[in-house]
């Protein structure tokens, strides 16, 4: 089988890495990729949004399966174009991709399906949004309705911060066109988790739970980012949580999408807030998360290509996803200043030493090659993943590897996984103590 992966970040590096290990895969291509992906795939100089160019490439190379990493080409309708040409592709149609591309659309689907979620209101007018905030008692969340690279959500402690978030989105255009419409919803409390399921329009199989760390600083402080680290599995939750999510969220959502005439195929990423026995959906995404994907691909066993092809064919019901019982911790190395302004072109050192540690895999997110040397080329530069028998050992190993990689201004969170290791204690800001290697 020949596979084309679309995208250029750490998620796509992890997908290429795992697909290359599938016994059914003969060759992997990646458009447009990054320097780290060259170890697992041939890079194709086509941007992920060049839908016609990608479709023509897939036809010319007789690609058996295309896997879409980022959300933007899905929202633009890449699946529709590929299927029109008779090409197998993993991902939802343009209409189904609205589950992520429009938060107001997702809310309407959740309400139709009876999926537990926060109460919300949608606004196209800034003054009406301000009036709503002034009349509301309690903390709120202000969300840009459309795609904003994972940064269009502002968690507000009070009315003043909610009003500022409205101004940022609708008046200052901080998120561009994505903020022309906003969703304001009640702020939920609890522990946030990510759940993934492979869906073929009718049936779904779970992939697993991951916990992401969205804010830039330890202790969940600072502005939201695309994700600063993740770990899986989540030992603090009981074994019945996944089955509850499947029955209370995934199955009714698939039924609601079918009823609308827009069946959902691909991976459904459910962002949830867990508070005791209560679960509430925060958002849907229609692709693998980043860095959650890196953690899942480290745990996944078996033929990934076969699973994704079953989804593309609409036949996932008889498939089974097997995950390693071992723990994985993924730590993002970011450029200084991220998610604000940051420099590019800074030399990276120590990568080989980090990857020499048993159980460690480093996925490139924002790197480039300049004058023969590896340099930074993005806000999130690399994702250092480590797998071990226990979460504490995986965390210790990941941080040991992360500390071996050096570039000026390097920033990372030191508390990835501490919510599980220390019972969700707020304010914990240091990595777990090192344990003896396995």
Mean pLDDT of 57-80: 97
Phi, psi for residue 37 in degrees, rounded to 5: -70, -20
Give the Cα separation of 418 and 394 in Å (integer).
12
CB 70 within 8 A of CB 54: no
Residue 98 CB neighbours (<10 A): 24
CA 139 to CA 161: how far, in whole Å?
9
Residues contacting residue 285 through CB under 8 Å, at least 6 positions apart:
71, 99, 100, 268, 269, 271
Torsion angle of the four alpha carbons 378, 379, 381, 383, in this order, in degrees rounded to the nearest 10: -140
Confidence (pLDDT) at 113: 97
Angle between helices 251-259 and 103-113 (to 10 degrees): 100
251 vs 319, which has greater pLDDT? 251
Q: At 263, list the tokens.
A: 């069946």
Walk me through the domains of the chain, giving residue ranges and CATH numbers.
Answer: 2-90 (3.40.50.20), 125-180 (3.30.1490.20), 189-323 (3.30.470.20), 327-421 (3.90.600.10)
Give the pLDDT score at 238. 80
Q: Are 31 and 15 in contact (CB under 8 A)?
A: no
Q: Are 348 and 381 in contact (CB under 8 A)?
A: yes
pLDDT category at 239 given cuts 50, 70, 90 is confident
Q: Quick one: tokens of 367?
A: 């790197």
Q: How far apart are CA 192 and CA 188, in angstroms?
A: 10
Share of the chain above pLDDT 70, in %: 96
CA angle 34, 9, 345 (to 5 degrees): 55
pLDDT, mean of residues 291-300: 98
- Read off the pLDDT of residues 102-133 as tens digits, 9 standing for 90 and up: 999 999 999 999 999 999 999 999 999 999 99
Per-residue pLDDT for 426 more than 50?
A: no
The overall average pLDDT reported for the chain is 94
Please provide residue 6's backbone torsions phi and psi, each rounded to the nearest 5 degrees.
-105, 125
d(CA 303, CA 21): 8
Residue 89 CA to residue 190 CA, distance in Å, equals 36
* Spatial distance between the Cα atoms of 222 and 3, rounded to a whole number of angstroms: 39
Q: Is the pLDDT of residue 399 over 50?
A: yes
Q: Tell me the three state secondary structure of residue 12.
A: helix
Stated pTM of the model: 0.93
Give the Cα separation of 432 and 142 in Å (integer).
34
Residue 317 confidence (pLDDT): 86
Q: Residue 248 and residue 192: Cα distance in Å, rounded?
A: 17
Give the pLDDT confidence score for residue 425 in this predicted structure. 42
Please check whether residue 371 is in contact with residue 421, taking contact to mean a CB–CB distance below 8 angstroms: no
Residue 127: Cβ within 10 Å count? 10
For residues 131-137, average pLDDT: 90
* Angstrom distance (rounded) from CA 291 to CA 10: 7
pLDDT tens profile 336-375: 999 999 999 999 999 999 999 999 999 999 999 999 999 9
Question: Is the Cα dihedral 144, 146, 148, 150 positive or negative?
Answer: positive
């Amino acid at each position: 089988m020949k596979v084309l992966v679309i995208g250029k970040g750490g998620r796509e590096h992890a997908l290429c890495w795992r697909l290359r290990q599938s016994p059914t895969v003969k060759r992997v291509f990646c458009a447009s990729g990054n320097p780290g992906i060259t170890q697992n795939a041939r890079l194709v100089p086509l941007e992920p949004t060049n839908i016609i160019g990608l479709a023509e490439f897939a036809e010319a190379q007789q690609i058996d399966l295309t896997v879409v990493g980022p959300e933007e080409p899905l929202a633009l309708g890449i699946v529709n174009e590929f299927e029109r040409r008779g090409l197998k592709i993993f991902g939802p149609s343009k209409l189904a991709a609205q589950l992520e591309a429009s938060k107001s659309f997702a809310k309407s689907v959740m309400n139709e399906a009876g999926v537990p979620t926060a109460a919300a209101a949608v606004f196209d007018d800034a003054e009406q949004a301000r009036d709503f905030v002034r009349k509301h008692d309690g903390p709120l969340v202000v969300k840009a309705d459309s795609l904003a690279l994972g940064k269009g959500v502002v968690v507000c402690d009070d009315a003043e911060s909610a009003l500022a978030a409205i101004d940022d989105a609708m008046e200052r255009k901080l998120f561009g066109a994505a903020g022309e419409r906003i969703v304001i919803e009640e702020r939920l409390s609890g522990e946030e988790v990510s759940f993934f399921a492979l869906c073929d329009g009718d049936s779904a199989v779970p992939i697993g739970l991951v916990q992401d760390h969205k804010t830039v600083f330890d202790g969940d402080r600072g502005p939201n980012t695309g994700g600063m680290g993740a770990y899986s599995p989540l030992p603090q939750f009981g074994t019945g949580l996944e089955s509850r999510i499947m029955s209370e969220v995934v199955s009714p959502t698939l039924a609601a999408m079918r009823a609308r005439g827009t069946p959902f195929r691909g991976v459904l990423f459910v962002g949830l807030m867990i508070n005791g026995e209560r679960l509430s959906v925060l958002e849907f995404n229609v692709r693998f998360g980043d860095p959650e994907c890196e953690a899942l691909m480290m745990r996944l066993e078996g033929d990934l290509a076969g699973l994704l092809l079953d989804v593309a064919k609409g036949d996932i019901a008889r498939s089974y996803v097997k995950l390693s019982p071992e723990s994985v911790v993924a730590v993002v190395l970011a450029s200084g200043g991220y998610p604000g302004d940051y420099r590019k072109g800074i030399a990276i050192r120590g990568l080989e030493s980090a990857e020499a540690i048993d159980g460690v895999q480093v996925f490139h997110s924002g790197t480039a090659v300049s004058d023969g040397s590896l340099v930074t080329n993005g806000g999130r530069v690399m994702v250092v993943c480590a797998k071990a028998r226990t979460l504490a050992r995986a965390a210790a190993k990941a941080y040991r590897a992360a500390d071996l990689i050096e570039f000026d201004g390097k920033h990372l969170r030191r508390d990835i996984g501490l919510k599980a290791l220390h019972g969700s204690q707020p304010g914990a800001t240091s990595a777990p103590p090192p344990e003896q290697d396995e």
